[in-house]
Amino acid sequence: MTEFKHAWRSLLKAPGYSSACILILAAGIGLSLYMFGAINGFILKPLPFTDGERLVHLEAARSQDPGRSGEPSLHDYLDLRREQRVLSGLHAYDEGTINLSDGVRPERYDGAFVSGEAFSALGLEPMMGRNFSAADELPGAPKVALIGYQLWQNRFGGAADIVGQAIRLNGEPATVVGVMPQGFRFPRMHQIWTLLDMDIAQQPRNQSRGVEIFGHLAPGQTLASARQAFAGLMATLAQQHPDTTRGDLAVLKPYADEFINPTTRKILFTMLVAVVLVLLIACANVANLMVVRGSFRAREMAVRSAIGAGRARLILGVLSEAALIALAAGAIGWIGAQWGGALTIEAIRSGEDPPVYWVDFAIDGWAYLFTAVAVAVATLAAGLYPALRASRQASAPELRDGGHGATDRRSGRLTRTLVLAEIAFCTALLCAAGLTVRSVMEIQA
């Protein structure tokens, strides 16, 4: 504790040096935490659904162009739902706009049309009222709707008697049967849900709407076995309806991959490597500053050594300074990462193609651990060698005026070494940037 107090006083006596070191490290730690928060929220955080790791998404593709897949038709979905046995259930939804009227004024909302048991299969339950059921999707069943918490508050004033209230959806009478929890916006920013129109007798097959299809792998089934089963089913559908089926190939993948594809994952991880390199460059810069500061403090170190301070205590003193700098930088970097993450999420959610509602900039326990590791790495990377060097220099000859020549020469060699390290990190950073640009071009191609 004594060494930390001494380090604190020493840093206060050199505000310019302290501020420069803190800001340099804060930039590196903040960028690293920002990217980790993005990866944590977009990729690492599990899906907020029941058995999300066994949830899969189905699309159709043509053998002439297997790399381009799309939504199967509603007719194909119903055929597949009836015939498949490898998923515990097959569910569907389609995004769109819904005109809502309560007899006062009509308003248009982003909404989704879902199959009857879709929400139940995902483990999504309303906070008020009841969920959709299989009976709700039957032809001729009364039209019902679920509304989001925000819509309930803004449009209906949070009325306690909202369940059972009569409304009109796209000009047709319907009944509100439930209110979903606050923050729920499945699949993206939607605030109202009703049933898919399953009355295919009234819909020609060649005019059938496309739907997103998903389901859970049945017990004992793997992704590979499910792919094999759906390959046969899609091929059969293509033979039976060659003019209307939207593909003869089944594209089955983990549900999370529908929203964050492998190329995007690669970009994010490459960017994380890039910002970690920025952190290492920042550490090298701070280490350089500490070496220069150590040269000016050689006499002070020698005096402390002469009056009984051991080498371990001298090392601890310099590392204490580095730790205080890293802690302050970590706090500033944390605030900056939080602020940047909030701005990023707000920007992408207000865009034309917002992400799914569960994607967020995730600052959680893992982010705390990442910050702690970053601070520890910054402390050691920036302070260890300067600390070792300062302890070696703290000898009696340093008290003599003639001792500075050797010290300056050693400082020059170390400075050149640190500069070479920075050049190496910058080269690696350029390589990471090149890989990122290449991945972005692959997405746009």
**Residue 62 in domain:** no
Quote the CA–CA distance of 98 and 404 in Å, as a whole number: 79
Task: Identify whether residues 29 and 156 lie together within a single domain.
Answer: no
**Residue 66 in domain:** no
Residue ranges in 350-403 assigned as alpha helix (H): 365-393
- Contact status, residue 402 vs residue 312, Cβ threshold 8 Å: no
Provide the domain count of the chain. Answer: 2
**Residue 42 in domain:** yes
Partner residues linked to 91 by β-bridges: 214
Domain range for 174:
72-245
Task: Identify whether residues 196 and 160 lie together within a single domain.
Answer: yes
Task: Identify whether residues 300 and 404 lie together within a single domain.
Answer: yes
* Per-residue confidence in pLDDT tens, the chain, 445 aa: 677 787 788 888 888 888 988 998 898 888 888 888 888 888 888 888 999 999 999 999 988 887 778 899 999 999 999 999 999 999 999 999 999 997 777 899 999 999 999 999 999 999 999 999 999 999 889 999 999 999 999 999 999 999 999 999 998 999 999 999 998 988 888 999 999 988 876 778 878 888 999 999 999 999 999 999 999 999 999 999 888 888 889 999 999 888 887 777 888 888 888 888 888 888 888 887 877 776 655 555 555 555 555 556 666 777 788 888 889 999 999 999 889 888 888 888 777 777 787 877 777 777 888 888 888 887 877 777 666 665 565 554 544 444 444 445 555 555 566 566 666 666 666 666 666 556 555 544 5
The set of residues, in sequence order, having a beta carbon less than 8 Å from that of 388 and lying 6+ positions away, is 315
- Contact status, residue 31 vs residue 384, Cβ threshold 8 Å: no
Structure tokens at 11: 């840093």
Position 400 scores a pLDDT of 44
Task: Identify whether residues 356 and 413 lie together within a single domain.
Answer: yes
**Residue 28 in domain:** yes
Task: Identify whether residues 18 and 136 lie together within a single domain.
Answer: no
Q: CA 31, 34, 39, 42 torsion: positive or negative?
A: negative
Position 398 scores a pLDDT of 46
Task: Identify whether residues 41 and 128 lie together within a single domain.
Answer: no
**Residue 311 in domain:** yes
Provide the 8-state DSSP code for 376.
H
Domain limit, last residue, from 245, 273, 289: 245
3-state DSSP of 389-400: HHHHHCCHHHHC
Quote the CA–CA distance of 121 and 337 in Å, as a whole number: 36
| 407 φ/ψ angles, rounded to the nearest 5 degrees | -60, -45
The set of residues, in sequence order, having a beta carbon less than 8 Å from that of 284 and lying 6+ positions away, is 381, 382, 418, 421, 422, 425
Structure tokens at 192: 């109202």
Strand residue runs (E) in 203-331: 212-216, 249-254
Task: Identify whether residues 346 and 241 lie together within a single domain.
Answer: no
**Residue 59 in domain:** no
Position 120 scores a pLDDT of 96
Position 260 scores a pLDDT of 80
> Distance between alpha carbon 113 and the CA centroid of its chain, in Å?
27
Task: Identify whether residues 320 and 437 lie together within a single domain.
Answer: yes
Position 399 scores a pLDDT of 45
Please give the C-alpha separations between residue 5 and each of 11, 86, 180, 218, in angstroms, as whole numbers.
10, 66, 54, 62
The set of residues, in sequence order, having a beta carbon less than 8 Å from that of 161 and lying 6+ positions away, is none
Task: Identify whether residues 157 and 291 lie together within a single domain.
Answer: no
| 314 φ/ψ angles, rounded to the nearest 5 degrees | -65, -40
**Residue 41 in domain:** yes
Closest C-alpha among 34, 42, 39, 38 to residue 340: 34
Task: Identify whether residues 288 and 237 lie together within a single domain.
Answer: no
3-state DSSP of 59-128: EEEECCEEEEEECCEHHHHHHHHHHCCCECCCEEEEEEEEEEECCCCEEEEEEEEECCCHHHHHCCCCCE
Single pTM value for the model: 0.76
Quote the CA–CA distance of 293 and 374 in Å, as a whole number: 23
Task: Say how many C-beta atoms besides its own lie within 10 A of residue 210's C-beta.
Answer: 17
Domain limit, last residue, from 245, 270, 299: 245
Task: Identify whether residues 413 and 289 lie together within a single domain.
Answer: yes
- Contact status, residue 217 vs residue 122, Cβ threshold 8 Å: no
Domain limit, last residue, from 199, 214, 245: 245
Position 244 scores a pLDDT of 81
Task: Say how many C-beta atoms besides its own lie within 10 A of residue 18's C-beta.
Answer: 20
Task: Identify whether residues 223 and 264 lie together within a single domain.
Answer: no
